[in-house]
Every structure is written in C-alpha cells, then in structure tokens.
Chains A and B, each alone.
Chain A
Amino acid sequence: EPEVTQTPSHQVTQMGQEVILRCVPISNHLYFYWYRQILGQKVEFLVSFYNNEISEKSEIFDDQFSVERPDGSNFTLKIRSTKLEDSAMYFCASSDIGSLGPNYGYTFGSGTRLTVV
C-alpha cells in the first residue's frame, strides 16, 4: 500500500537554528499538507500546498516557516530560526482529491519529532 515517508524520525536542534523536515508524498497525489502536534495537545493544521503554491495556511505558519517541493517528489517544511515552542511532532500528509476513496486517499506519514533545546 502506498505510504507517505517522513525523514528524519527524530530531530534535535538548538534554539535559533534552521531545520528542514522532509516528506515524500504518495506519487500521484496532488495536495500536500503539514500538521503538527505539540505533546499532549491536538493536531493542528499548518499549511496546504497545491499546484506548486501554498493554498492555505494557519496563524501558526508565520514568516519563520516555509514549504517547498524542490524536485517534484519531496515536500519540505523549513523552520528558519527554531524556538522552544516549535518542539512538536510534525506530520506530513498527501491526498488525491479526485479519488473516490472514502478519505480521498488522505494519508499521513509517521511524523518527525522535533525537539528544540
């Protein structure tokens, strides 16, 4: 079964450093998403990406965040200058809106645990 792959599984970084979280979505999917879950809290939407541009972003997704699809297969989330409160589990997801499946093929990766120290 196709899956969304995220690397690394765990990233530790110092406050103020830049991090790049990587995702390989399912190959025929068209929509890409980043979500995060701070420990003990709810899953929060960060950004959606379609047709090589951001289609929607939340208040969390400020100027410190950016996304890119550099080579047609990878989908990356960059945090320019990490803060302690960026520590969370970051989930990438992709979907195929044209799919007739019950969840539009909305599939999540297993996440990257980001720890900012």
Chain B
Amino acid sequence: DQQVKQNSPSLSVQEGRISILNCDYTNSMFDYFLWYKKYPAEGPTFLISISSIKDKNEDGRFTVFLNKSAKHLSLHIVPSQPGDSAVYFCAATVEHSNYQLIWGAGTKLIIKP
C-alpha cells in the first residue's frame, strides 16, 4: 500500500533552471509533509516542510507547494545547482501522533552543468 508516491525515479535538469519534484499521497489523514535530501552513504537530511493548513512554504531556493484537494505536493528548486544532485524523498506524517514518517520511493535529481 503505497501511501506516498514519487512516480519519477529520476530527473535531469540543467544547472540554473528550475527543478520540480512531485509527490502524491493517498491517506487523507496526513497533515504534515516533509522533504528530505539524501546523498549516497549518508542519512536523509531535512530540507523543508509544510503543514496542511498552508499551500506554500518557501525557504531560500526551495519552495514546497501543497494541493490538498489533489493530494499532491511539489518541491521547486530554483536556480538548480550542481550540489543539489541527490535523491529527494517526500515524507508524510500525522501531526500529534507518534510522528512516524511514511516515505516515498525517492527521486534522483541530476543537475547537468
């Protein structure tokens, strides 16, 4: 039962352009969403999050958009930089629970020079 889906296993973007990573979810109980970045041989590192009461959250080059009616969120990175090349995971949880994260399968982002 894939409650969180990232349908693109990989994405290639030119340096300086916008990277858009997508995530869909099926569980309407989810009310908090997080994006993590993962380099090989390292643990996931937190990037940005959004609560279901918002539709947008921005932090520097990273913006997350949430469309609750479509159960869809996206991460925008602009401008994309070579150091952004990594695997990006979308995760969801139910606030005020034990904060178990449900993960998507990840999207490998490759930034081309």
Contacts and interface: CB of A to CB of B under 8 A. Distances in A.
B101 interface: yes
- The size bracket of the interface on A is 20 to 34
A28 interface: no
Contact of B100 (A56, A103, A107, A111): A56
Quick one: which of B34, B49, B100, B102 has the most chain A CB within 10 A? B100
Interface in B12-56: 34, 36, 41-46, 48-49
A108 B48 CA distance: 15
A106 B98 contact: no
Contact of B106 (A31, A42, A50): A42
A107 B78 CA distance: 25
B49 A31 contact: no
- Please give me the 3 A-B residue pairs with the lowest Cβ-Cβ distance, nearest first: A108-B43, A42-B105, A43-B103
Interface of B: 34, 36, 41-46, 48-49, 89, 91, 98-106
19 contacts: A6-B43, A31-B99, A35-B103, A42-B103, A42-B104, A42-B106, A43-B89, A43-B103, A43-B106, A45-B100, A48-B100, A56-B100, A95-B99, A102-B48, A106-B34, A107-B46, A108-B36, A108-B43, A109-B43
